Structure 1
């Protein structure tokens, strides 16, 4: 009887997970199918298979926009932002988690408080400040904004994970004569790799998909990121939805591949955090 109850319970959980997967994946499936359709097909049969798998929309994306330029811009901004978030976030979290000092709790609360205030509420003073520093319409200004947005959550996640690592590792390394920098780089950070992957993916998705800050801070066409650049297909009276869906499909590919490559590390970070 107990085995039967467990079977029912597991079956119910698997059914819920399958339903959730369907709800998450079906819109993506429709988006990919729509990238092969014309506007007429999208409006007449939005959920049906395309009459012909034509690559005409892909040709329009290639010919009518600087798609490669927009893709490279988004890639550069995202990679630079993630690297800076990981470097500064990990350094701050390591100091808070592994060293005891009087204001450690206050510093951690300072970073956590940054998670409660949306940066978009301060867009006017932020724009004025960046304009004063001549950082409007530059990659540097956009990257600094994203780093400021990502640091609070990065410090919060990394601090919690680093605190779970045993202190005996550090003590043994100190006895062997290792410097503090060597202990951090060679011993502690490799163990914290799953948490770093979580931080990277958690920040890469909103940065890659962000439309708001590039719209406000970037005006030059050659500096536009991918979400901003794809708006060229949105007209005042008509929108070429087939081409738009093609652009969105191509834009989703890099993050999808990133998650596939780092999925083991991502799942390991979640499960280790849950167990610990």
Structure 2
């Protein structure tokens, strides 16, 4: 009689030892290595920012004595921030950046949503040509047209105004936003739009019916638009250089040039310029990644 009896019909097959133990050792090792590298890159990216923030709360001797140490009772000081707000114009800079960022984001969302919906819904001969123009707008950097933009702003009498920045940033953001929103509108079921039209809904009403389904795309467009606008230095320096219209990035750059030897104030100004950008990215990072990944998958 054989020791190894044949398996009965209908009996479950034996589970391999590798499957019972979970993942293979090689797979686990590769996963740990990838996570270790990602953690290392994250630390390399966060460490300089954290070092600037910590040293901004120290006195000048403490910065040079122990730049990597935490501030304590003897070294803690907010004099740098006091000098920044006394000599700088950061309250107005934050207000200007907020106006430009919110205005650009709202205008980009409205224009890109309307354009993408029209390019997807209306099968006309010019639709592929217009879509190609938006694609070209993604590939060509808008800074190459700085001189024509400057002439146009001067001719419209918008020089040194926040309106000029909003219009330029909107033109810079719309091509990518339209391409992204077209991907989401193509995934909306046609039956939903046809049902709305049969019930007598107009085109704007039909668009409103589809907006809940493209909400991740709207979040992705908002995040893609806000971060470059807030962090840009080129166009504020050219189109709105006066102190009453400066943005945060331009205000920090000019403050750094004036107070180069005042290290606590210098680090405080850099912190005030970087913290809003970090907060924006932290708040909208999930929508940014989710929106872009879903858009690519569709």
Q: TM-score, normalised by structure 2?
A: 0.83
Q: Do the aligned partners of 2:104 and 2:166 also contact (CA within 8 Å) in 1?
A: yes
Q: Determine the C-alpha separation between the residues in 2 that align with 1:202 and 1:117.
A: 17
1:225 to 236, 241, 247: 247
Please give the residue correspondences for 1:1-276 in structure 2 after superposition, counting only pairs within 5 Å.
1=18, 3-4=23-24, 5-43=26-64, 45-50=66-71, 52-185=75-208, 187-235=209-257, 238-276=260-298
Q: Determine the C-alpha separation between the residues in 1 that align with 2:143 and 2:286.
A: 33
Of 59-68 and 159-168, the range deviating more from structure 2? 159-168
Of 68-77 and 91-100, the range deviating more from structure 2? 91-100
Q: Determine the C-alpha separation between the residues in 1 that align with 2:60 and 2:136.
A: 46
User: What are the Cα deviations for residues 160-208 of structure 1, in whole angstroms up to 9, with x where unaligned?
Assistant: 22212222221222233322211212x2122212111111111211111
Q: Compute the RMSD of aligned alpha carbons.
A: 2.2
Q: Determine the C-alpha separation between the residues in 2 that align with 1:70 and 1:255.
A: 14
Shift of 1:92: 0.8
Shift of 1:123: 1.4
Q: Determine the C-alpha separation between the residues in 1 that align with 2:190 and 2:64.
A: 62
Q: Determine the C-alpha separation between the residues in 2 that align with 1:176 and 1:24.
A: 54
Q: Determine the C-alpha separation between the residues in 1 that align with 2:234 and 2:254.
A: 16
Q: Which has the larger radius of gyration?
A: 2
Do the aligned partners of residues 33 and 237 (structure 1) sit closer, same or farther apart at CA in structure 2, a change above 3 Å counting?
Answer: closer
Q: TM-score, normalised by structure 1?
A: 0.90
Shift of 1:39: 4.5
Do the aligned partners of residues 40 and 27 (structure 1) sit closer, same or farther apart at CA in structure 2, a change above 3 Å counting?
Answer: same
User: What are the Cα deviations for residues 104-144 of structure 1, in whole angstroms up to 9, with x where unaligned?
Assistant: 11101101111222222221222122111111111111111
Do the aligned partners of residues 244 and 10 (structure 1) sit closer, same or farther apart at CA in structure 2, a change above 3 Å counting?
Answer: same
Q: Do the aligned partners of 1:65 and 1:232 also contact (CA within 8 Å) in 2?
A: no
Q: Determine the C-alpha separation between the residues in 2 that align with 1:240 and 1:81.
A: 35
Shift of 1:41: 4.4
Structure 2 unaligned regions, length at least 5: 1-17
Do the aligned partners of residues 97 and 241 (structure 1) sit closer, same or farther apart at CA in structure 2, a change above 3 Å counting?
Answer: farther
Q: Do the aligned partners of 1:161 and 1:195 also contact (CA within 8 Å) in 2?
A: yes
Structure 1 unaligned regions, length at least 5: none
Residues matched between the structures, number: 275
Of 15-24 and 150-159, the range deviating more from structure 2? 15-24
Shift of 1:29: 1.2
Do the aligned partners of residues 274 and 156 (structure 1) sit closer, same or farther apart at CA in structure 2, a change above 3 Å counting?
Answer: closer
